[in-house]
Structures are given as structure tokens and as C-alpha cells.
Amino acid sequence: MLTKKQKDLLVFIHERMTSEGVAPSFDEMKTALDLKSKSGVHRLVTGLVERGYLERLPNRARALDVKRLPDDMVTDNAANTNSENGNHLFQHDSGGVRHVPLYGKIAAGTPIEAIRHEGEYIDAPLSMMGGKGDFYALTVDGESMKDVGICDGDMAIIRRTEEARNGDIVVALVNGEEVTLKTLMKKGAKVDLVPENKDHKVQTYNADQVQIQGVLSSIIRMY
């Protein structure tokens, strides 16, 4: 039997994943449950894992997966949650893993110097990649995409492509030397790279200044 705090946390995680396609951060869990520290969140998560309600996926990022809900909650789909654009976030891996190159950090704030692969790889669940393609991973640096659930320290799985639609979250190479993770909005000869944080400004460039290097496929949260 779950404690009230455990149940409240499980419901909060499930509702966030259902509505936004991404699990909340530990800071968000702490605030939602009015806890004094994140150590309390860690204890609650561990208890839910031990009781079979949550699972930490077997990869380096230890992503969370809701395995089941309390019997008094009605749900049609507790285990797998998709975002509206088809991204698979924090899902249970039922089809193996892929060796994905890790390209270091990418700014979710001010653009940073173009990143390069230095030989490190991660094992990412195939279920998080949304189909065939060439994928790579980046570590998010900053909070400018936090309003869509992308937080500092998260690992972004990117599908390599040079084409994207308005509203896609993309990896954009700016002026051939700076890389950033933003929402894409094309406006004629201009391109807006839009942060998902009201405290950050939209970055506007000429279309020929921006090269799309990939589209976000999924997010793995680091705990």
C-alpha cells in the first residue's frame, strides 16, 4: 500500500507525462509535493521503484517509466506516453538499444561553439527513436526550453536531418559556428529560433544563417 506522498508523486509524474510527454524534474517534484529537499523526492521515487510502480530504465540516464498506477485510478495507458508531435519520452524499452554517438553539450540558452564528436557513445532505447534514421545525443545546457519539459542536464536524442517544419524543436547551426536547441519558426527570408521560456528572447536570423542539423526525437532525464 502506498503512502499519501508516494501516491501524490506517482499521480503527478503520470499526469505530467500524459499532458506534456515528459517526466517532471526532481525540482518540480519537490515543489509539487511541498518537500523541503530533493532527498525526500529520491526516497519517494526509490520506494515507488521497489513497489513496482516506477522503473528506472537500464541506461546511463536512468530515465523513469510509469509501470502501473494504484488500483483506484483509472487509466488506459499508464506505461507509455507520447507527446503530440510523436516524440517518445521516458518510455519502456521493449525493442533493444542503439549505440548513439554523444556530441557533448548544446545550449538551451545562448548559442555555444559548434560541438564535435569526441568518441563517446551512449546506449539509447530503440523505442525512443521513433523509427529509422541516423541519431546522435546531446546534453542540454541551460533552461531556455524548460516550459516544454527540457531541463538543464537532460540528454536530447536527435534525428539527423536538414529539413524541419515550423514548431519542430531543432538543433540549429548558426553562422557555421554556433549550435543551439530551439523551436523553429520560418518567416519568409527570416528564421526565428524560439526559446520555450518567457525569460529568454527569440533569436532572429536570415534564413541563410541557419542550418538545421537535426530534429528532437526524445529526451532522457538525468537524475
Please name the residue that has the C-alpha cell 523509427. Answer: 131
Q: Tell whether the model's pLDDT for residue 62 goes beyond 80.
A: no
pLDDT top residue among 218 and 17: 218
**Mean per-residue pLDDT over the chain, rounded:** 77
Residue range 159-203, pLDDT digits in tens: 889 999 999 999 999 988 888 999 999 999 999 999 999 999 999
All 3 cell numbers of residue 22?
Answer: 515528459
User: What dotted CATH number matches 97-220?
Assistant: 2.10.109.10
Domain ranges of the chain: 97-220
Residue range 74-89, pLDDT digits in tens: 433 333 333 333 333 3
pLDDT top residue among 75 and 153: 153
Closest CA to 87 of 183, 170, 21: 21
Average pLDDT over residues 50-70: 69
Q: What percent of the chain has pLDDT over 70?
A: 74
Residue range 15-47, pLDDT digits in tens: 877 766 667 778 888 888 888 888 888 888 888
Q: How far, in whole angstroms, is CA 16 from its chain's centroid? A: 13
Q: What amino acid positions are annotated as catalytic residues?
A: 144, 182
Q: How far, in whole angstroms, is CA 153 from its chain's centroid? A: 10
pLDDT top residue among 131 and 141: 141
The strand pair at 155-159 and 135-141 is best described as antiparallel
The strand pair at 190-194 and 178-187 is best described as antiparallel
Beta strands in 9-147 (DSSP E): 54-56, 64-66, 97-107, 112-113, 121-125, 135-141
Is the pTM higher than 0.75? The answer reads no
Q: Could you tell me where the DSSP H helices lie in the chain?
A: 4-20, 26-32, 38-50
